[in-house]
Amino acid sequence: MNKKYIIIISTVLLISLSLGLFMLAQSKIKPTSIVQEDPIIAQSRLDYEKIREVKLAQDFDKCNQGLTEIKHDECVSKIVMSVSDPVLCDKIIDEAKKSLCTESFVVNNIISENNISKCSSLKTSFNELCFDNFFKEYKGVDECVSLESREKQRCGDVVNNKNAILKSDISICDNVVDNNLKNDCKNIIETKPKDADGDNLTDQEENSYGTNPTNSDTDGDGLSDYDEIFKYNTNPLKKDTKGNGYGDAIQKNIK
Ligand SMILES: [Ca+2]
Ligand SMILES: [Ca+2]
Ligand SMILES: [Ca+2]
Ligand SMILES: [Ca+2]
């Protein structure tokens, strides 16, 4: 073959190969490095941000128009909460209210991260609220033992209060140290309608249904009075509602 042809073919091949490699590299880089936003979407996003900015500026301006400091801060707080933007808390004048505003956003993050250790960083009333949120999930006071003394007492109070109400057992309220919480605990139990047999029907309801308020399964068919009335629509006073030889507990599985 002519030497001249060989040189031309080699050059063409080399250029094609380089071009191919360049295009391959481009196609690999493009999707990860620069994702081009659709210009129409980009413009409408900018427009929306601009409108939001102007609206916020005007709203905050209204808060500045001849209001006392207290009213001004109330006005600003409402705007901050409606747009859920913690940065805007800085526009609040009163330092204590500013902290409350900022921490109201922080506490939500701590709860969603499920990280109790961060509650102690809070300086406002959100500190207690943050801890309480975790304590109320504890089943017994033994889960409080590893805590610092102040948190340990609060933890015990919250757990005892919860269990007293759950079991309708007023004696558990006496283990609550904080007097206000102790009184609340007792009041709630004393005013709560009684359910002596714990079948989820109050004694008063049992009287109206004719069931026994001290027996959770009046007819002894294996289904509780509550379940017969509200779940299975069977007679809580008859073992065999349909009279077909199958007791109500078996009948519910046949249906
Ligand atoms: Ca009952
Ligand atoms: Ca009963
Ligand atoms: Ca029954
Ligand atoms: Ca029955």
Q: How far is the CA of 194 from the centre of ligand 3 (A)?
A: 20
Better-predicted residue by pLDDT, 245 or 15: 245
What confidence category does residue 31 fall into, taking pLDDT thresholds of 50, 70 and 90? very low
- Name residues whose C-beta falls within 8 Å of residue 197's C-beta, 6 or more positions apart in sequence: 212, 213, 214, 215, 216
**For all residues of the chain together, what is the average pLDDT?**
87
Distance 131 CA to ligand 3 centre (A): 43
Does pLDDT of 16 surpass 60?
no
CA 219 to centroid of ligand 2, rounded, Å: 9
Q: Token pair for residue 156?
A: 């015990």
For residue 21, the model assigns a pLDDT of 46
Ligand 4 geometric centre to CA of 254 (Å): 15
What are the sequence ranges of the domains in the chain?
136-192, 203-254
Q: Give the ligand at the shortest distance from the Cα of 199.
A: 1
Helix 126-135 / helix 95-113 crossing angle, nearest 10 deg: 20
Which one of the ligands is nearest to 234 CA? 4
* 56-60, 78-82, 139-143, 152-156: range with lowest mean pLDDT: 56-60
Residues within 5 A (CB) of ion ligand 3: 217, 219, 221, 223
Q: For residue 173, what are the contacts with CB-CB under 8 A and spacing of at least 6?
A: 160, 161, 164, 182, 185, 186, 189
Separation of 39 CA from ligand 1 center, angstroms?
67
Q: What is the pTM of this model?
A: 0.58
Which of the two residues, 182 and 12, has the higher pLDDT score? Answer: 182
Give residues with Cβ within 8 angstroms of 213, minimum separation 6.
Answer: 196, 197, 201, 203, 206, 207
pLDDT of residue 192: 87
Q: How many residues does the chain have?
A: 255
Per-residue confidence band for 24, with pLDDT thresholds at 50, 70 and 90 = very low
Give the distance, in angstroms, between the CA of residue 83 and the centroid of all CA atoms in the same chain: 19
Indicate which ligand has the atom closest to the C-alpha of 211.
2
Q: How far apart are CA 132 and CA 183, in angstroms?
A: 18
* Residue 3: pLDDT band with limits 50, 70, 90: low
Secondary structure of residue 88 in the 3-state scheme = helix
CA of 222 to the centre of ligand 2 (A): 12
CA–centroid distance, 229 to ligand 1, in Å, is 12
- How far is ligand 3, taken at its centre, from the CA of residue 43, in Å? 68
Ligand nearest to the CA of 203: 1
Has residue 64 got a pLDDT over 90?
no
- Å from CA of 235 to ligand 3 middle: 7
pLDDT of 239 strictly over 90: yes
Return the ligand number nearest the Cα of 237: 4
Q: Which residue has the tokens 């904080």?
A: 178
Distance 183 CA to ligand 2 centre (A): 30
pLDDT of residue 32: 47
pLDDT band at 160 (very low <50, low <70, confident <90, very high): very high
For ligand 3, the distance from its centroid to the CA atom of residue 168, given in whole angstroms, is 24
Q: What percent of the chain has pLDDT over 90?
A: 65
Least confident of 4-13, 43-52, 136-145, 158-167: 4-13
> In the prediction, which pLDDT does 47 show?
84
Instruction: Tell me, in angstroms, the distance from the centre of ligand 2 to residue 112's CA.
Output: 41
Task: Give the pLDDT of residue 252.
Answer: 82
